[in-house]
Structure 1
């Protein structure tokens, strides 16, 4: 029986946010990342969707005991899809892999909602740790939906798995935000 793995392309790339074993870099072919606004919250979430010619870097990791329950709970609002044949990775066992994505019929708008900066910080930190500066650039380049508000909640993080960034990590995130069409707004 094949081991069950997931492909993470956002906060799951940051291995400080979970304890799933055997995390390995991977590339998903035929997909692209996007910020997704749903009726669940004014906060937008990263999702992924199939697209011709797209690729996104991320991380595969084992689902302990092949029990998806805890991960399904963490990824509430997303649906799992098999992507084993669309992945490049170096895992010798060739596990079965699924990705979480928010179905297109649950998207509310292309520009509504806000990105929590504490969430974005976690994602960028994960890409920096896993792929280095080029991986961070790749994350920003392969993600759509930046034309919205970024809520600066660093002083009182709202993202439940927030992480402390180093000054250089903070400067890296801020530098990318300065180049994007986002509007940064501080929380009250």
Structure 2
């Protein structure tokens, strides 16, 4: 992989390496951003996004985009705007993070719950890359849990749903209870 290929910073489902085949994924930290559950006009479920947040650091993965061909990733992240974070991320290449586009954001999150099948994918990725402490950090550096969780685990609505191990399922359930997330 050429060194000059750009990279993306994944902080949600892109941390789960089973959901994509981007090259050279590696654990990375991004300073100055916080995850947030965002309600949009695009669907009735919440999207995971990021907002600037001085003093907060997120764990995630950085992976290369071969030849700078962003088309497939931009399609996957169609609700998002790609933001240049090259100077912030500090890699040897240009880098971007995806943030839910302001044009789709709703000010009232009512009725836009978090899909458990999506949350399962995110937590599985964090558990496999960062272990239990990474899962705890994910929950602690994410805002907007008050929207609640729609339990679609038995019939997943998220198109890239994964089957979790008992340990991964326990991680999701433990942190939802710890944060008193409605479901």
Residue 20 of structure 1 pairs with residue 18 of structure 2: no
For the 8 Å contact 2:5–2:66, the answer to whether it is kept is no
For the 8 Å contact 2:49–2:99, the answer to whether it is kept is yes
Alignment of 1:102-117 (within 5 A): 102-104=100-102, 106-109=104-107, 111-112=109-110, 113-117=112-116
Q: Show the counterpart of 2:98.
A: 100
For 1:4-30, what per-residue CA distance to the aligned partner results, in whole angstroms no more than 9, with x for missing partners?
111100000000000001000111111
> What is the distance in 2 between the residues matched to 1:115 and 1:68?
27
For the 8 Å contact 1:110–1:145, the answer to whether it is kept is no
Q: Displacement, 1:102?
A: 1.3
Q: Displacement, 1:164?
A: 0.4
What TM-score does the superposition give when structure 1 sets the normalisation length?
Answer: 0.91
Runs of 5+ consecutive residues of structure 1 not aligned to the other structure: none
For the 8 Å contact 1:128–1:135, the answer to whether it is kept is yes
Number of equivalenced pairs: 180
Runs of 5+ consecutive residues of structure 2 not aligned to the other structure: none
Q: Displacement, 1:125?
A: 0.5
> Considering only aligned residues, what root-mean-square deviation do their CA atoms show, in Å?
1.4
